């Protein structure tokens, strides 16, 4: 319990006392599985920490883990048990929550949980959950749960206004409707956008509901051509979704969708706040997992080589550039060959766009070592040598306060590459020998100064 309190409980208590949760609180459900505690233990920990004023503010309790028992004093209006299997006893406990208005039971596991729907019909005469307005049963397979069963839920819960039915199984031509009840579905693009709005406004980002919707958007835009305005709406909505809490080191579902949706024109046409959200998200700590990193890298490349994206006033150019150099160094190290050239080209592009807008006293940049780039000057690939020279010329101009024009940088790079290519035709590519050769053959003072700067650094 000490670990749980350290990670979650006290920050939750502080947030409630500061009214940051706008009338309700959520218990974060992304704790490692070994640190998830039974429901009753979490309640007991909260009860011992929060004061009575805080207790009254609790409206949502969001649990992802073991379930032992409920305490109706703590659950007033909303309850999310997404991903948790329920039995008859659990349903009986839920039915005791007479004030409950929002109930999320979405479950996308291979063996869907149908107890609640079936048990509701059995308990119709006792009028359970008389205030229930929203019920999410997303993820139940269509062959296990018929629409007739879903329709009968309105008879059990007369105040029911919305039913969540996000699932991969409904065919696009399904004729599904329940009079007076809104069905949240992911059959069409428009339905998916509407459903994302509803979930974000009521539950925040929940992996078990939001991710399947985003994945559905990705499939649709790959196989069907939609109006450009709708594509921009999709891009903006996925950005809003990730801005609600998903992390690169946890899931990679939204990344492929963003990559497929993004282009220069759309980055220009989404709102400033959406560009801000995406930039902030991309500049957070990069993922360590190599599989996730590939998506992250592609998305970072698409955004920060875009003139429209970089032109936004909120961009932290220092962070962009320093992260870019990290990527390039990672790509040129052993194991990074699969995206080495892409990273170098991104490094060239971002060097030309960001360094000129950075402070020359940038401490993070000043501490950087560029030795890896020097050794690329003797690489067997001409494109690699060219990219390394371009990046080093940009860095040279920045570090020596020369404020070189783009034409001057191009001229210097051309002279350097002429010497390098001339040397490589007849000699082994020893890096020290290469630099000495450039120093002897170069004609301009800028090239000689560049070599001296390289050797000193």
* Cα 389 from chain centroid (whole Å): 34
Element (H, E) at 134: strand 134-136
Model pLDDT, residue 412:
93
Q: Are residues 246 and 325 in the same domain?
A: no
Last residue of a domain, one of 304, 339, 360: 304
Number of residues written out for the chain: 457
Residue 6 included in any domain: no
The token duo for 178 is: 């329940």
Residues 6+ positions from 384 with CB-CB distance below 8 Å = 340, 341, 344, 376
Q: What would the pLDDT profile of 249-283 be if each residue is shown by its tens digit?
A: 455 667 788 888 999 999 999 988 899 888 888 88
CA distance 356 to 375: 25
* pLDDT band at 373; cut points 50, 70, 90: confident
Dihedrals φ, ψ of 181, to 5°? -125, 130
Enumerate helices (H) and strands (E) in the chain, giving the number of each.
23, 6
Q: What would the pLDDT profile of 382-420 be if each residue is shown by its tens digit?
A: 888 899 999 999 999 998 888 899 999 999 999 988 888
Last residue of a domain, one of 304, 333, 353: 304
Q: Are residues 408 and 325 in the same domain?
A: yes
Q: Residue 436's domain spans which residues?
A: 316-457
Last residue of a domain, one of 279, 304, 329: 304
What's the maximum distance between 2 C-alpha atoms anywhere in the chain? 96
* Sequential DSSP letters for 115-183: HHHHHHHHTGGG---TT--EEE-TT--TTTS-HHHHHHHHHH-TT--EEE---S-S-TT----BTTBEE
Pairwise pLDDT comparison (73 vs 338), residue with the higher score: 338
Residue 326 included in any domain: yes
Q: Are residues 279 and 406 in the same domain?
A: no
Q: Are residues 259 and 388 in the same domain?
A: no
Q: Are residues 271 and 359 in the same domain?
A: no
Q: Are residues 300 and 370 in the same domain?
A: no
- pLDDT > 80? residue 172: no
Q: Are residues 411 and 441 in the same domain?
A: yes
* pLDDT band at 64; cut points 50, 70, 90: very low
Residue 122 included in any domain: no
Q: What would the pLDDT profile of 294-347 be if each residue is shown by its tens digit?
A: 888 889 999 999 998 988 877 899 999 999 998 898 888 876 667 889 999 999
Report the candidate in 198, 200, 202, 164 with the shortest Cα–Cα distance to residue 181: 164
Residue 110 included in any domain: no
- pLDDT > 70? residue 3: no
Q: What would the pLDDT profile of 5-51 be if each residue is shown by its tens digit?
A: 444 444 454 544 444 433 333 443 433 444 444 444 554 455 444 44
- Per the structure, how many domains does the chain have? 2
Q: Are residues 349 and 453 in the same domain?
A: yes
Q: Are residues 289 and 326 in the same domain?
A: no
* Cα 73 from chain centroid (whole Å): 35
Residue 134 included in any domain: no
Residue 147: half-sphere exposure toward Cβ, Cα within 13 Å: 9
Model pLDDT, residue 311:
84
| Model confidence, pTM | 0.72
Report the candidate in 383, 389, 353, 349 with the shortest Cα–Cα distance to residue 370: 389
Residue 63 included in any domain: no
């Amino acid at each position: 319990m000490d670990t749980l309190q350290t990670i979650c409980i006290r920050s939750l208590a502080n947030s409630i006392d500061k009214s940051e949760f706008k009338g309700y609180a959520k218990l974060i459900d992304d704790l490692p599985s070994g640190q998830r505690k039974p429901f009753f233990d979490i309640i007991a920990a909260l009860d011992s920490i929060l004061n009575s004023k805080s207790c009254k503010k609790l409206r949502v309790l969001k649990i992802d883990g073991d379930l032992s028992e409920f305490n109706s004093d703590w659950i007033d209006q909303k309850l999310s048990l997404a991903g948790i299997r329920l039995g008859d006893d659990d349903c009986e406990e839920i039915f005791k929550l007479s004030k409950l208005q929002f109930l999320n039971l979405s479950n996308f596991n291979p063996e869907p949980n149908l107890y609640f729907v079936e048990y509701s019909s059995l308990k119709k005469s006792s009028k359970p959950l008389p205030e229930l307005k929203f019920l999410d049963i997303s993820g139940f397979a269509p062959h296990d749960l018929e629409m007739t069963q879903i329709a009968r839920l309105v008879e059990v819960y007369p105040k029911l206004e919305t039913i969540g039915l996000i699932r991969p199984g409904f065919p696009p031509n399904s004729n599904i409707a329940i009079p007076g009840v809104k069905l949240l579905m992911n059959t069409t693009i428009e339905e998916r956008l509407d459903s994302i709005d509803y979930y974000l406004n009521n539950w925040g980002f929940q992996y078990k509901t939001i991710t399947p919707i985003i994945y559905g958007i990705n499939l649709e835009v790959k196989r069907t051509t939609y109006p450009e305005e709708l594509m921009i709406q999709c891009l903006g909505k996925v950005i809003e979704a990730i801005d609600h809490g998903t992390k690169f080191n946890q899931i990679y579902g939204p990344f492929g969708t963003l990559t497929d949706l993004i282009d220069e024109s759309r980055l220009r046409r989404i709102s400033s706040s959406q560009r801000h959200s995406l930039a902030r998200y991309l500049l957070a700590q990069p993922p360590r997992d190599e599989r996730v990193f590939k998506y992250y890298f592609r998305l970072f490349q698409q955004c920060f080589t875009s003139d429209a994206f970089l032109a936004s006033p909120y961009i932290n150019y220092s962070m962009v550039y320093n992260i870019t150099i990290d990527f390039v160094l990672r790509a040129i190290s052993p194991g990074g060959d699969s995206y080495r050239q892409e990273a170098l080209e991104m490094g060239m592009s971002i060097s030309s766009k960001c360094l000129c807008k950075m402070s020359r006293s940038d401490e993070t940049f000043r501490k950087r070592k560029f030795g890896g780039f020097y050794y690329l000057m003797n690489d067997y690939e001409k494109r690699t040598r060219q990219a390394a020279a371009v990046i080093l010329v940009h860095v040279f101009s920045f570090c020596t306060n020369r404020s070189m024009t783009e034409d001057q940088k191009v001229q210097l790079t051309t002279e350097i590459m002429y010497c390098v290519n001339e040397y490589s035709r007849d000699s082994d590519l020893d890096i020290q020998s290469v630099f000495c050769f450039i120093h002897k053959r170069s004609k301009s003072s800028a090239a000689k100064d560049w070599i001296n700067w390289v050797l000193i650094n």
